[in-house]
Structure 1
Amino acid sequence: MICVVLICCFARKKSSSRTKHNMKRLFSDASGINIPIYTYKEIEKATNGFSEKQRLGTGAFGTVYAGKLHTNSWVAIKRIKHRDTDCIEQVVNEIKLISSVSHPNLVRLLGCSMENGEQILVYEFMPNGTLCQHLQRERGDGLPWPVRLTIATETAQAIAHLHSAIDPPIYHRDIKSSNILLDYNFKSKVADFGLSRLGKTETSHISTAPQGTPGYLDPQYHQNFHLSDKSDVYSFGVVLIEIITALKVIDFSRPPNEANLASIATDRISKGRLDEIIDPFLNPSSNDPWTLSSIHNVAELAFRCLAFHRDMRPTMMEVAMELEQIKLSRWELGEEINCEGASLEASPCSSSSNLSEQPLSKGINKNGGVQNRNGLFML
């Protein structure tokens, strides 16, 4: 009996070792890009067995957990759902593509694990949560306009990079304010790019059902399921309106014809009534002509992004360049854009979400634990 147990344990260990070896071979053979490959046990240990106490949130692509690996620094561990287990080499190549993309405003992939039929991605941890949380006052008291404009500009540059500097281009498919994460200095980084390629999807950019989040979906994509770079442009236009208004993208507590934020915005902008929906926190009526002028300029840009016909929308490169010009126009007035006035919750203990679409009131505490409303849970 003891011999049988020992043989089983040896076989399991050998199988695990062979799996890890094969994974390393697949990663090294494809294009020479190497990222750390963790065992399932290492991931399980880092998350305390995928403990609910360490869960940061759950979204369209999977569940995210806080964890510490060998570096003893916090990372975000995403456990992908709807995994494609039929073609492991294709999945590895997709992960390699994501890991090869480098831009200061894209969340970095730090490693992965693909044992036991799992697809687990390890990302850098972003301590200041999501743009959505700050706009909805779930974190802090609000962001001043210069900070919002900088976040918008950085985000546009990141998406433009995915569209223009990558071959083949990467279409995000799920641009939204909860996928825009903020670091210690409120520098923005786009999350979840490339993840739509990891599931059981077609090899082309034609999908059999709309992908994305209600309120952000390109209306043409919703009709014909054809994906293009202009689908991301539309979604980003909605984010720009969020930044200006701090209103929810879909809110059924509003009148039926105003439940959709994009509909409200296009109506008000076309009628010259934008001021009615500007976030009062921005105080646009104050003696600051640049703030009001730049808000209107961003709104006009968003209006073009929200055009029904995608041919009428600008490219993300054009959007990024225009936002940069709007941001730089403040220097003409002798002013400097900075984060003064933002609710700087830079410590990890204030973070309530990371890489997730449904943020929770949880975060990482500097003393080494996950925190929620009930107190501190040591890891």
Structure 2
Amino acid sequence: MAALVVLFMLFLTNPVFSQSNDRYDNTNLFIATSCGNDAVISMPTFINNRNSTFNDLRMQLLSKRVFYARAQSLTGGDSVFTAVQCRNYLTVDQCVACFDDGVSRLANSCNLGNGGFISYDNCFIRYEDYATFYNNPYVMEDKDLTPTLKCGNRSASQPTVFQQVVDRFLSDIRHATPKISNLYAASTRPITSENTTVYAMAQCVETIDPARCKTCMNTAYDLLNDCLPNTEGRFLHLGCFARYSDTPFFNVNQTIDIASFIKEHSNKVAIIAEAVAGVVLVLLVLLVWLLYRSWKKSKKNDQDTTDFEGAVHYSYKDLQLATNNFSEENILGKGGFGEVFKGVLEDNQVVAVKKLQIQNTGIKDEFENEVKLISNVHHRNLLSLLGWSMEGSYLLLVLEYMANGSLDRFLWGSKKGTLNWNQRYEIIFGIARGLAHLHNEFHVKIVHRDIKSNNILLTDDFKPKIADFGLARFQPEDQSHVSTKFAGTLGYTAPEYALHGFLSEKVDTYSFGIVILEIISGRRSTEVKHDSQSTNYLLENTWKLYEKKTHIKVIDEALNLNRHEQEQVIKIIEIALLCTQSPASIRPTMSEVVVMLQEGKSLGTRQLTRPTFVNNQDRRIYIGSSRPKDIQATKQTRTQKADNIFDVREKGMNVV
């Protein structure tokens, strides 16, 4: 075993591969690196898993002679998912040499967080503690890796000619790359006046779809133009890489004939040009009309249209075909706004299609709100929006498909009792990180408003993703809360929001506290727990046990915990009670909760106060230190009711 470790460390320390020969210069330039910031459960375990995936990838490159490979290691709860991609013009030895140097740099620089990314001219390596970046490289957390542009420092001898030729060349490359089966293009373009040839290549991550590749290629083209008329430039982003140079960096016999892939584009351009020439007057009239209509539109509508960028637009027929005409056997679930179907797109990607029912004129606003929110939010613990469709009365969202379904299925549904403690902790921690991102790490503060167990979906390896943003709202940075009409699920909803419409991020904190108790106990928040003296719901029952210092009894009997795990669960129960306190100001922020969960801290100097209890049987919310002794007293007329009693039925709210 020791000998294997020594051999592994030897290949980690290989120098950067650099080979020059008579044909081309393949110096392997280092471009960029980035490390994750989130802590893991056990760093030694995480590093062992990471090194295991590195070994697996190297073997795949050597034995299968491939240029894209991925691997995973899930030991000990610290999952690692890794991918590598080399440029297709390399030899296997060149690819492995680039990989070895990348592994060495990552091993030395990224040993404190949960992920890493490194890129060279010849390859990139990325590892994370979640797998979704395989198919969508832009799913990421705690880092905003903007596109990287590196321009050469030598200008062409005839700048104008060089810029014109290379601009056209790069445009052809960007149009061709998404249409080629492996999303890779390499070609040359002569510049007779300079007696030189320009070499250019582009490559998207092999597993992403052509639409995302096209978007990345458009960005590459736009930015590489900033390098012209310099004689070389490089573009790097999570989903693609592009490069041009007047110095050969691949063999001329390794080029791809891109003419057939750009012919269709060129023909379309010619047809459009002819059409424009024939109908100039009509277009001018149309333009005037469009400008007038645009002026008449509200600023809000203009902004909503812009916010749809970033998600793929599908036709209704595409999604009808993918879901077998929205058949009953494809239904994954039903909600207040409609149904969710399993679908298979043309590229065989499995997705979830959310079909919204139009019950009133405001439903389109809700739809646009959800698209606007989740098309711009990317995080491992938030469900990704892949696309949308809005044709007539049909409103549809295309979302990630989660094979394991929702969390409630594993707490009290068909899979009840199958989650172990490590899995439950990872779910709690993941939800906390997702909410912290919504509240503090996005460019505006987002309040979800409907955090509950059936809005938490689980990946194949039981990592949580917060779903259903249909009720989410922006919160202005300069306001502690906003006042809005109640919408949510009682049993999870904070009392200040249900009673007075006071909405802040602490509403999500309260709901999160309730979900923690459900995960630990395996009980619904509204499930009745009978004892000798009263009928208690989950939160009230937990508080009473906490007062007696016996809250260990809240723990699901299906869990077989050792002493250390019991102590950890007790601390997390106390964190849940801290999250459900009133007033909202004494609840922790979700960022504070993440730190408490990471470091295994309990309450510290904080003192718990009695939470607000929801009694769904008589459909009232009680505010204060205790419930009224005489329940019958609450059945007075509305004018005689105490201020601390709120009748849900009279306000027309839905109670779960």
Same-fold call, TM cutoff 0.5? yes
Residue 264 (str. 1) matches residue 541 (str. 2): yes
Contact preservation (8 Å) 1:215, 1:260? no
SS in 2 for 1:100: coil
Could you tell me how far apart the structure 2 residues matched to 1:282 and 1:251 are?
19
Report the counterpart of residue 303 of structure 1 in structure 2.
577
- In the alignment, what sits opposite 1:72? 348
- Residues in 1 aligned to 2:582 and 2:365: alpha-carbon distance in whole angstroms: 38
Whether the aligned pair in 1 keeps the contact of 2:471 and 2:488 (CA below 8 Å) is no
Residue 315 of structure 2 aligns with an amino acid whose one-letter code is T
Is 1:165 the counterpart of 2:441? The answer is yes
1:260-316, Cα deviation, whole Å (9 max, x unpaired): 2111112212321212221112234xxx22101101110110110010211110001
Shift of 1:83: 6.5
AA aligned opposite 2:573: A
Tell me which residue corresponds to 1:116.
Answer: 392
Match 2:319 to one of 23, 32, 43:
43
SS of corresponding position for 2:526? coil
Who wins on radius of gyration, i.e. which is larger? 2
User: Which residue is 2:382 aligned to?
Assistant: 106
SS in 2 for 1:280: coil
Which consecutive residues of structure 1, in runs of 5 or more, have no partner in the other structure?
1-21, 199-203, 328-379
Shift of 1:138: 1.6
1:234 corresponds to which residue?
510
Does structure 2 retain, via aligned residues, the 8 Å contact 1:66–1:75? yes
Q: Give the 3 Å change call, closer, same or farther, for CA 294–98 of structure 1 in structure 2.
A: same
Query: Residues 28 and 299 (structure 1 numbering): CA distance in 2 closer, same or farther, change over 3 Å?
Result: closer
On the 8 A contact 1:214/1:250 being kept in 2, the answer is no
- Is structure 2 residue 458 aligned with structure 1 residue 177? no
* CA separation of 1:298 and 1:82: change in aligned 2, threshold 3 A: farther
Counterparts of 1:93 and 1:175, CA distance in 2: 17
The residue that corresponds to 2:332 in the other structure is 56
Mean Cα displacement is larger for which, 77-86 or 130-139?
A: 77-86
- Secondary structure of 1:281's match? coil
Look up the SS of the partner of 1:66 in the other structure: strand
Structure-2 separation of matches of 1:171 and 1:140: 30
What secondary structure does 2:600 align onto?
helix
Q: Which residue of 1 aligns with 2:126?
A: none
Given that 2:417 and 2:522 are in contact with CA atoms closer than 8 Å, whether structure 1 keeps it comes out as no
- Cα 1:304/1:43, change in 2 over 3 Å: same
CA deviation vs aligned residue, 1:153-173 (integer Å, no higher than 9, x gap)? 011000110011223311111
C-alpha contact 2:450 2:471 (8 A) present in aligned 1: no
1:51 is displaced (CA, Å) by: 1.5
> CA distance change for structure 1 residues 300 and 88 in 2, over 3 Å: closer, same or farther?
closer
The whole-number CA distance in structure 1 between the counterparts of 2:454 and 2:550 is: 27
For 1:231, give the aligned amino acid: V
Q: Which runs of 5+ in 2 are unaligned?
A: 1-293, 295-300, 475-480, 602-656
Q: Hey, what does 2:524 align to over in structure 1?
A: 248
Q: Displacement, 1:252?
A: 4.6
For 1:244 and 1:57, the matched residues in 2 are separated by: 24
Q: 1:301 to 1:115 in 2, by over 3 A?
A: same
Question: Aligned pair in 2 of structure 1 residues 70, 258: CA closer, same or farther (>3 Å)?
Answer: farther
- Paired with 2:517 and 2:529, the residues of 1 have a C-alpha distance of 19
Q: Is contact 1:65–1:76 with CA below 8 Å preserved after alignment? A: yes
Cα distance between partner residues in 1 of 2:464 and 2:594: 14
The separation in 2 between residues aligned to 1:90 and 1:136, in whole angstroms, is 30
For 1:276, which of 553, 560, 563 is the aligned residue? 553
Whether the aligned pair in 1 keeps the contact of 2:529 and 2:535 (CA below 8 Å) is no
Contact (CA 8 Å) 2:431, 2:464: kept in 1 or not? Answer: yes
Give a deviation string over 1:118-146, Cα, whole Å, max 9, x none.
Answer: 22111010011222111115226421111
Secondary structure, counterpart of 1:170 in structure 2: strand
Structure 1: distance between partners of 2:325 and 2:429: 39
- d(CA) in 2 for partners of 1:61 and 1:89? 12
Higher-strand-fraction structure:
2
Give the aligned partner of residue 600 of structure 2: 326
Q: Structure 1 34/83 Cα, relative in aligned 2: closer, same or farther at 3 Å? A: farther
The AA in structure 1 aligned to 2:484 is S
User: Conserved in 2, the CA contact under 8 Å of 1:28 and 1:34?
Assistant: no
Residue 323 of structure 1 aligns with an amino acid whose one-letter code is L
2:325 is equivalent to residue 33 of structure 1: no
| 1:83–1:119 Cα contact (<8 Å) kept | no
**Residues 95, 229 of structure 1: alpha-carbon distance in 2 compared, 3 angstrom cutoff:** same
Which deviates further from its counterpart, 133-142 or 176-185? Answer: 133-142
* Cα deviation 1:195-228 (Å, max 9, x = unaligned): 4459xxxxx94332x3222211111211101111
Q: Indicate the percent of aligned positions where both proteins have the same amino acid.
A: 37
8 A Cα contact 1:109 1:121, kept in partner: yes
Deviation at 1:84, TM superposition (A): 6.9
For 2:309 and 2:427, locate their aligned partners in 1 and report how far apart those are by CA, in whole Å.
Answer: 30
> Is this contact kept in 2: 1:84–1:91, CA < 8 A?
no
CA 1:73–1:32 in structure 2 vs 1: closer, same or farther (change >3 Å)? closer
* The 10-residue stretch of structure 1 (48-57 or 249-258) with the greater mean CA deviation from structure 2: 249-258
Q: More deviation in 66-75 or 85-94?
A: 85-94
TM-score with structure 2 length normalisation? 0.42
- Structure 1 residues 195 and 214, CA, compared in 2 at 3 Å: closer, same or farther? closer
The answer to whether the 8 A contact 1:26-1:89 is kept is no
Q: Within 5 Å, which residues of 2 pair with 1:152-231?
A: 152-196=428-472, 205-208=482-485, 210-231=486-507
| Equivalent position of 2:586 in the other structure | 312
SS state at 2:426 partner: helix
Aligned to 1:349: none
Q: What letter corresponds to residue 265 of structure 1 in structure 2?
A: T
CA contact (8 A) 2:449 2:473 kept: no
Query: How far off its partner does 1:117 sit?
Result: 2.2
Name the CA distance, whole Å, in 2 between partners of 1:42 and 1:194. Answer: 23
- Report the residue type matching 2:555 in the other structure: I
Stretch moving more, 125-134 or 270-279: 270-279
- TM-score computed with the length of structure 1 as normaliser: 0.71
Mean Cα deviation higher: 224-233 or 35-44: 35-44
Residues matched between the structures, number: 295
| CA 1:90–1:231: 2 relative to 1, 3 Å | closer
* Deviation string, structure 1 residues 166-185 (Cα, Å, up to 9, x no partner): 23311111111111111111
